[in-house]
């Protein structure tokens, strides 16, 4: 199979590695050829480390690398069976690329986007043949994260989602089919993990360190929300939140945080800039350990219950709206963002009545729509 990948950034080269590892012939194009060369050099190091760790053989490493062909123009995609776009999250730029692509590839070629939040239907509506367009959303880093959201738009050929699901399984991934709604499954359900954590800090209820420690110790999350925002990029996380908020017609549930906006404006984007909610310079790494806030068990329990209640409520609402089936919702959060357990199962464990009561208390305290409950929450 011949696979074209547009965009050779972290996500693009990651998807290229996945496809090449599965034996596909990969064509990698980026408007910036220097970026492609840089990414290929990084991939060479990644593959060398896999050989060192005896995860793959030296022969397999060479085979994977040689399967990826850097391209200088989109015209090189003319014989591709599948094209995956992984460029900037901008609808106009993506649409322009897809329109160019349609003039090059065959009528049988599947065109897809790795977008994390832009409507698949809106992207496909500008194409001559929207039936062959679908969302294939990988998670970062693509070679390590098993989940892939497969998102058919309203104009997508009915059988295409199943076809892509089978292909993703052959690539060693765990695919889930999602409805074309803002944020799909993961980015919609996960919003309160960040949003509610930011709200708690904005109100001076706790510090980022305390919120992170509460979620790690009581929820068994591998990373707290502030550590994770620093890793993802505060600007990237803020951008996704803004997209989901706008696409849901400014539903207060998804309202972005002023604190996150200020951090983005200050270019305090997290690990990639050396400073975000945490300081990643060497001298500050040591002081960060020493300046941990005093642990407060009652506060930690309140933080955990507040954030987990918001998350479970979102999962229940996704179930109610048929965004995905129960199994897909549970798998998506565990395999896409490494949650320690499925949120619907977590709701059963804590008790949906306890979740409902927590949200009702928050609603009465704040009088805000963001705390409204899913109509299904009190029925399950």
For residue 142, give the nearest of 19, 256, 325, 14 by alpha carbon. Answer: 14
Among this protein's residues, is 137 annotated catalytic? yes
- Tell me the C-alpha distance between 132 and 37, whole Å: 30
Q: What DSSP string describes 174-221?
A: EEEE--S-TTTTHHHHTHHHHHHHHHHHHTTSS-HHHHHHHHHHHH--
Distances (CA, A) of 11 to 97, 151, 232: 17, 18, 12
DSSP 3-state assignment of 96? helix
Neighbours of 1 (CB within 10 A): 13
- Catalogue the E-assigned strands of the chain: 2-6, 25-29, 68-71, 82-85, 110-113, 133-138, 147-152, 174-177
Q: What is the spatial distance between Cα 307 and Cα 301, in angstroms, rounded to a whole number?
A: 10
Given 137, 188, 253, 269, the catalytic residue: 137
Ramachandran angles phi, psi of 26, nearest 5°: -110, 135
Joined together, the tokens standing for residue 310 give 């918001």
CB 148 within 8 A of CB 136: yes
Strand partners, 111: 83, 133
Query: CA dist 342 to 62, 195, 221, 335, Å?
Result: 38, 20, 12, 10
Catalytic residue ranges: 137
């Amino acid at each position: 199979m011949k696979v074209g990948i547009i965009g050779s950034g972290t996500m693009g080269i990651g998807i290229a590695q996945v496809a090449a590892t599965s034996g596909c012939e990969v064509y990698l194009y980026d408007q910036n050829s220097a970026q492609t060369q840089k990414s290929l050099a990084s991939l060479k190091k990644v593959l060398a480390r896999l050989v060192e760790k005896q995860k793959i053989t030296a022969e397999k490493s060479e085979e994977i690398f040689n399967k990826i062909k850097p391209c200088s123009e989109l015209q090189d995609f003319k014989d591709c069976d599948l094209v995956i776009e992984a460029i900037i999250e901008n609808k106009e730029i993506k649409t322009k690329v897809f329109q160019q692509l349609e003039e090059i590839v065959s009528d049988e070629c599947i065109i897809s986007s790795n977008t994390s939040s832009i409507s698949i239907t809106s992207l496909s509506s500008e194409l001559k043949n929207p039936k062959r367009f679908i969302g294939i959303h990988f998670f970062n880093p693509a070679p390590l994260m098993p989940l892939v959201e497969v998102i058919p738009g309203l104009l997508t050929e009915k059988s295409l989602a199943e076809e892509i699901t089978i292909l993703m399984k052959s690539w060693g991934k765990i695919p889930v089919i999602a409805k074309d709604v803002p944020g799909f499954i993961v980015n919609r359900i996960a919003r309160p993990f960040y949003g509610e954590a930011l709200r708690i800090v904005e109100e001076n209820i706790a510090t980022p360190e305390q919120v992170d420690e509460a979620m790690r110790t009581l929820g068994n999350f591998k990373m707290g929300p502030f550590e994770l925002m620093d890793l993802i990029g505060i600007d990237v996380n803020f951008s996704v939140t803004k997209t989901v908020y706008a696409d849901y017609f400014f539903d207060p549930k998804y309202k972005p945080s002023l604190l996150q906006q200020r951090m983005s404006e200050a270019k305090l984007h997290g690990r990639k800039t050396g400073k975000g909610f945490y300081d990643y310079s060497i001298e500050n790494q040591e002081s960060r350990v020493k300046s941990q806030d005093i642990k407060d068990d009652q506060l930690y329990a309140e933080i955990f219950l507040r954030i987990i209640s918001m998350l479970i409520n979102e999962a229940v609402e996704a179930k109610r709206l048929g965004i995905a089936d129960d199994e897909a919702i549970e798998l998506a959060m565990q395999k896409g963002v490494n949650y320690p357990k499925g949120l619907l199962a977590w709701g059963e464990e804590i008790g949906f009545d306890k979740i409902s009561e927590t949200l009702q208390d928050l609603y009465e305290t704040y009088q805000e729509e963001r705390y409204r409950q899913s109509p299904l929450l009190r029925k399950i």
